[in-house]
Amino acid sequence: MDFGWGALSDGAAGWTFSAWSPDAEKIEIELEGQRRALDRTDGGWWQLRFDAEAGSRYRLVVDGNVMVDPASRLQAGDVHGPSVLHDHASYQWTSPWHGRPWEEAVIYELHIGTFTPEGTFAAAADKLGELARLGITAIEVMPVGQWSGERGWGYDGVLPFAPHPAYGSPDDFKRFVERAQALGMMVVLDLVMNHFGPDGAYIHAASPHFFNPERHTPWGASIDFSQPAVQAFWIQCASMWLTHYRLDGLRLDAIHEVSGPGADEFIDRFSRTLRALPLGRPIHLIAEDERNEPQQREAGYYEANWNDDFHHAIHAELTGESHHYYVSYSVNPIDDLRLALERGQIEEGQHREGRKKARGKPSGHLEPTAFVNAVQTHDQVGNRAYGDRLITIAPTHGVEVAFGLLLAAPFIPMIFMGEERGETNPFLYFADFHDELGRLVREGRSAEFEEIDKHGEEVPDPIARETFEASKLGWKTDERARHWLDLTQRCLHFRHQHIVPLLKSKRVGSAQARQLGHKGIEVQWHFVDGTVDLVLNFGEVAQGARHLKAPQLTINDIARDNYALAIEVHPK
């Protein structure tokens, strides 16, 4: 399949190299030290057909300026070094895979670099069996498109077609995917299409028209999605990951920043093209979209959105925090949680105390599977000054019940790595920039939290290797870890046995939820094949709750404990 941008193999020793630069006078490829000129074609495109061995090194030359191919599939080293001709067809898959339906998704978000001590695709693959045994059915990998330096979260990528070399080779990532799928787990990749990182983004020099200098995002000049070549770049990038790495879907980072002229057309084309790929399995698209609007899910562009509303209500209730984006959720977090359980999201365009401008539109008509809920994520943990996990700042029994609610409720649950075993190690912000850029990142991080009472502690240095090392999972096997693992397995067994069949049958009518006293909630969801009744104590024992005769899942005693959960499913 022809993906356009960059160097593409024809399956033999032949390659076609394409670049887009409408204003360039001359474009060359420097292959193993020898330069060859590309031919100008229509629409600002340049192209050359040539013979070479896979593994050969090359650079792009635009009007005499030597640079990295922005669509490099593999680098020989860092983001400033030569690119490598890579033939994806050389990998031989040894097992079939036909995917899984979205209703079965239990997502596990992981960062390859801190998931294991080694921080590689190969080491991560060796840990996947334990996750599968717990009942996890999908792995969401934080971005792997190459960025500057060795360590980072991945959201400062500059070569989105090339896997980060500190994690391993393209084949290493494919073996990771194949191992997960052999265990019955889907693999979803976090893809960043809204900006490029600050170091090594040669796309600015190679294709200046890729950006609209009159529009800006939090990360600089806006990408110009009105350009067909720009749309093709991202569609071809996504198609490559889905096709050649056999992924089951993509999580699209900050899709609300994919905006401006052409953005809506792009999203429509992007979704339709990916879903039409002849892959023999369903493709699942998840959006991070802070607008809280249902239209793109109604149109079928995405299966689901990350639902921060659910997280914020739980976090505000358990921690009492009311700063920054928690302000509106701290007013009445229990009622907010009731709304999240009844309607999916909370903010749907209504006036909210603590928010200057209303946000969102009604979304209660969507299927529960249109919402990806989480109690912790890389954002919500890592963007704290000290990377605190919820278990270290909130009542343990409250965190346990919140986690059980996440896994058992009829929405799509997402676990942040380590959560399943009660991990207490922080997940901090870290990067590997040097010189002036490193200084700016360090100072910016410190200034961001200067108003926080640090109790004499400095915010961890994001550039220091120690900050990265401190963020790695501990993989403890003590009694506390076993308790959390047992809780995870018990809740997911209940989910797969009782909740997933109802999700597949689709919902009927609206959910009903009511607050019981100050800290209790009662909810009922209706599906074609049955009904789910849930009673939640979230700080004190609920009064006047519907009596559940034979709940299939309980956490603590709903009649006695301040933090407790009981769920009963009534099949038809």
Assess whether 527 and 483 both reside in one domain: no
Residue-level pLDDT at 2:
39
Assess whether 86 and 113 both reside in one domain: no
Residue-level pLDDT at 545:
84
| Nearest of 30, 17, 27 to residue 63 by alpha carbon | 27
Tell me the CATH number at 522.
2.60.40
pLDDT for 397 beyond 70: yes
Task: Give the separation between CA 456 and CA 435, rounded to whole angstroms.
Answer: 27
At residue 459's C-alpha, the angle toward residues 455 and 461, to 5°, is 150
Assess whether 165 and 268 both reside in one domain: yes
Say if 513 falls within a structural domain: yes
Residue-level pLDDT at 455:
53
Tell me the CATH number at 323.
3.20.20.80
Average pLDDT (545-561) is: 94
**HEC string of 169-201?**
CHHHHHHHHHHHHHCCCEEEEEECCCCCCCCCC
Percent of the chain residues past pLDDT 90, beyond the cut: 92
- Average pLDDT, rounded, for the chain: 95
Say if 1 falls within a structural domain: no
Say if 177 falls within a structural domain: yes
pLDDT for 104 beyond 50: yes
Interval 441-491: pLDDT, tens: 999 988 888 666 455 578 999 999 999 999 999 999 999 999 999 999 999
- Residue 546 banded pLDDT, cuts 50, 70, 90: confident
Interval 209-239: pLDDT, tens: 999 988 887 777 799 999 999 999 999 999 9
Say if 97 falls within a structural domain: no
Assess whether 368 and 230 both reside in one domain: yes
Say if 96 falls within a structural domain: no
Please say which residue of 443, 475, 501 terminates a domain: 501
Assess whether 497 and 515 both reside in one domain: no
Assess whether 354 and 479 both reside in one domain: yes
- Residue 323 banded pLDDT, cuts 50, 70, 90: confident
Number of structural domains the chain divides into: 3
Residue-level pLDDT at 452:
61
From the annotation, which residues make up the binding site? 251-256, 308-312, 378-383
pLDDT for 54 beyond 90: yes
Assess whether 369 and 476 both reside in one domain: yes
Residue-level pLDDT at 220:
74
Please say which residue of 45, 63, 90 terminates a domain: 90
Assess whether 201 and 331 both reside in one domain: yes
Domain that holds residue 480: 102-451+460-501
Assess whether 181 and 233 both reside in one domain: yes
Average pLDDT (509-536) is: 97
Say if 438 falls within a structural domain: yes
Residue where the block lists tokens 């040669």: 202
Sheet of 530-538, strand order? 512-516, 520-527, 530-538, 563-571, 553-555
Interval 15-42: pLDDT, tens: 999 999 999 999 999 999 999 999 999 9
Residue-level pLDDT at 451:
60
Assess whether 362 and 426 both reside in one domain: yes
Whether the Cβ atoms of residue 546 and residue 522 lie closer than 8 Å to each other? yes
- Residue 501 banded pLDDT, cuts 50, 70, 90: very high
Average pLDDT (236-259) is: 97
Please say which residue of 28, 62, 90 terminates a domain: 90
- Residue 1 banded pLDDT, cuts 50, 70, 90: very low
Say if 95 falls within a structural domain: no
Quick check: helix, strand or coil at residue 67? strand
Interval 164-202: pLDDT, tens: 999 999 999 999 999 999 999 999 999 999 999 999 999
Average pLDDT (545-560) is: 94
Q: Name the H helices within 220-300.
A: 228-244, 263-275, 295-298
Task: Give the separation between CA 111 and CA 120, rounded to whole angstroms.
Answer: 10
Assess whether 464 and 439 both reside in one domain: yes
From the annotation, which residues make up the binding site for substrate? 251-256, 308-312, 378-383
Task: Give the separation between CA 527 and CA 499, rounded to whole angstroms.
Answer: 10
Percent of the chain residues past pLDDT 70, beyond the cut: 98
Average pLDDT (325-346) is: 96
Task: Identify the bridge partners of residue 140 per DSSP, sorted by sequence position.
Answer: 109, 188
Assess whether 435 and 494 both reside in one domain: yes
Average pLDDT (385-410) is: 97
pLDDT for 347 beyond 50: yes
pLDDT for 383 beyond 50: yes
Residue-level pLDDT at 274:
98
Q: Give the count of alpha carbons within 13 A of 337, CB side only.
A: 31
Torsional sign, CA 354, 358, 364, 370: negative
Say if 175 falls within a structural domain: yes
Tell me the CATH number at 29.
2.60.40.10
Q: Which residues are catalytic?
A: 253, 288
